[in-house]
Amino acid sequence: MKKALAVIILASLIVFASACGNGENTAKTGGKRGLTFVTGTTTGVFYSLGAIVSQLWSDEMDIRFFSQASNGSVENLYLMQKGEADLGFSTVNMVWEAYNGEGVFKERPYKGVRILANLYPNVNHIIVRKGAGIKEISDLKGKSFVLGAAGSATEMESQLILEAHGLNMKDIKENYVGFTEAVDLLRNKQVDGVNIFTGVPSAAATELISTVDSRLISLSDHAINKLVKKYPWNFAYTIKANTYKKQTKDIKTVAQYSSIVIDEHVPEETVYEMTKVFWEHLEEIKKSHSVANHFDPKFAVEGTAGIPLHPGAERYYREIGVLE
């Protein structure tokens, strides 16, 4: 399976390199029009999944899809806004900021972004080192905590969670690194807690809880209610007991969806076909990437935070009864 995935990714990169040589999104390759799909870093879920889906669409449609690595949600939306990409992956919070001209998109709203599908929940895993005296989120005051990589969706979620518990950045010793570095810091007792913001089960969370004397802690009910009410992309989520080793009870937290977003300029008929091909070939995608086991068309239009669906996608969801 790993060998097959590597072949798909390599083929996708070769195709993308050809597209770059043409210098335009509508490049001709084998008589097919082209669309650029921006994904994520080469070690992340978005990158490998994007290569698989791009290959599927290219095989099934009269369009060539060029899968391109990126730094993730924010860069993907910037590239789409500038017309340098046609579609990409993003967490819903960043799509909301882009559409509404908030946060990093302040005074430069991207009103042309549309949702093709919500895929799987990204879940906040607050993991703390045993022996650090942390039983609940408020105990992080004065402690060293990894919020996530600077400018990432994880950082944004971490800040909101701390604020919902009455803490600000001055109350903690903040660290800004990605998942890999966060695991190492907690293992080496250089920090007291981390937020792993990803799907369930999380490989990083599994490694931490299995190999480091650490545990998951819940958000308070008050904080969860506040986060869901104030930030429309969030929803309450329970990490069921025994999801991870030594996790004996349910963990209450919040989550949001990772999505495929697409620019409004892509024709309705094209997006309808893309949506149809994606969901009708879901079993094939599952065979190539385990994260697809969490995909379900019934949830593809949930948690959109008021961001419009692309008309082509909306037509498909009405056709299969997901929308009335």
- For the stretch 285-318, pLDDT in tens is 999 998 899 999 999 999 899 999 999 999 999 9
pLDDT of 154 above 90: no
Q: Is residue 270 part of a domain?
A: yes
Residues 154 and 171 placed together within one structural domain of the fold: yes
Are 49 and 148 contained in the same domain?
Answer: no
Nearest to 146 by CA among 203, 187, 105: 187
Residue 140, domain member (yes or no): yes
Q: Do 213 and 240 belong to one domain?
A: yes
Give the pLDDT mean for 86-109: 94
Residue 141 counted as domain residue: yes
User: 215 and 160, same structural domain?
Assistant: yes
Please name the amino acid found at residue 266: V
The predicted pLDDT at position 23 comes to 38
pLDDT for 51 beyond 90: yes
Query: Does pLDDT of 25 surpass 50?
Result: no
Considering the domain architecture, whether residues 20 and 116 belong to the same structural domain is answered as yes
Q: Quick check: is 205 in a domain?
A: yes
Give the residue with greater pLDDT, 245 vs 313: 313
Tell me: do 129 and 241 sit in the same domain: yes
Q: Are residues 103 and 251 in the same domain?
A: no
Q: Is residue 324 part of a domain?
A: no
Residue 112: the pLDDT is: 98
Q: What is the pLDDT of residue 90?
A: 94
Question: How many domains are there within the chain?
Answer: 2
- Domain of residue 291, CATH code: 3.40.190.10
**Structural domain ending residue among the three candidates 234, 256, 278:** 256
Is position 90 within any domain? Answer: yes
What does the alpha-carbon distance between residue 323 and residue 66 come to, in Å, rounded to a whole number?
A: 30
37 plus 138 within the same structural domain? no
Of 208, 230, 256, which residue sits at a domain end? 256
Q: Does residue 63 sit in the same domain as residue 187?
A: no
Confidence category of residue 252, pLDDT binned at 50, 70, 90: very high
Q: What is the pTM of this model?
A: 0.79
Supply the pLDDT for residue 195: 95
| Overall average pLDDT of the 246-270 stretch | 96
Whether residue 68 is contained in a domain is answered as yes
Asked if residue 213 and residue 169 are part of one domain, the reply reads: yes
User: Among residues 225, 256, 287, which one ends one of the domains?
Assistant: 256
24 confidence band (pLDDT: 50, 70, 90): very low
Q: Does residue 8 sit in the same domain as residue 80?
A: yes
- Find, among 44, 43, 104, the residue nearest to 77 by Cα: 104
The residue with greater pLDDT, 13 or 259, is 259
pLDDT over 80 (residue 125): yes
- Over 90: is that where the pLDDT of 82 sits? yes
pLDDT of residue 22: 36
For the chain, the average pLDDT equals 89
- Can you give the pLDDT at residue 32? 59
The pLDDT of residue 13 is 46
Q: Which residues contact 87 (CB under 8 A, 6 or more apart)?
A: 35, 36, 37, 38, 80, 116, 260, 261, 262, 263, 266
Q: Are 204 and 244 in contact (CB under 8 A)?
A: no
Q: Are residues 163 and 240 in the same domain?
A: yes
Q: Of 2-16, 34-48, 97-111, give the lowest mean pLDDT range.
A: 2-16
Residue 247: inside a domain:
yes
DSSP per-residue letters across 207-231: HHHHHSSEEE-PPPHHHHHHHHHH-
Give CA–CA dist 308/258, Å, rounded: 15
- Domain carrying residue 152: 122-256
